[in-house]
Amino acid sequence: MSDYLRPITKENPYKLCFVCLGNICRSPTAEGIFIHKVKEAGLELYFYIDSSGTGAYHIGERANSKSQSTANAHGVHLPSIARRFEYQDLEEFDLILAMDSSNYRNILHMDKAEKYSSKVKLMREFDPEPGDKEVPDPYYGGLQGFENVFQVLDRSCTNLLNILKEHIK
């Protein structure tokens, strides 16, 4: 069993945090998709799902309007309010999913004692088509960039949930 995997029960839900830079595009989209998939599977009591950003640029803001419209077109709601990733998140969450290598490094940099590195992963480690393992930042792009990010995250979340479901007791 990998370090980030453990038995998942209603009494001890599995805690995931999706992380990008500003917490308004990629990570809230991943959070919304994962919540949607968990609800569809009837597993809400087994998971605690959140998102955050390594930067403090958009604290308190809702997801970017293009992220929201793309997700809504797929029947997915993005409930996230942007917040900054903090050290205590390393302790709190079972799995921390960075959207790209820059955010991955920023998260690991917070873990000076290297106690939590085994639970920090790149999101696209769970993508059956991982490419360069980076979820591209669609912030400055057009709607197609947001659709591409949605598709990458949808595949990754599906695979991730399938892996985690095997550990529900």
* Residue 95, strand partner residues: 16
CA–CA separation, 133 and 124 (whole Å): 5
Check 89, 94, 100, 137 and give the catalytic one.
Answer: 137
Check 26, 50, 89, 124 and give the catalytic one.
Answer: 26
**17 is known as an active-site residue:** no
**26 is known as an active-site residue:** yes
Backbone angles phi, psi at 48, to 5 degrees: -120, 120
65 burial class (0-12, 13-18, 19+ CB within 10 angstroms)?
exposed
Check 17, 20, 25, 157 and give the catalytic one.
Answer: 20
CA–CA separation, 116 and 81 (whole Å): 25
Q: What is the DSSP pairing of strand 14-20 with strand 47-53? A: parallel
CB atoms within 10 A of CB 119: 22
Could you tell me if 83 and 54 are in contact, meaning their C-beta atoms sit under 8 angstroms apart? no
Could you tell me if 127 and 152 are in contact, meaning their C-beta atoms sit under 8 angstroms apart? yes
**94 is known as an active-site residue:** no
Catalytic residue set: 20, 26, 137
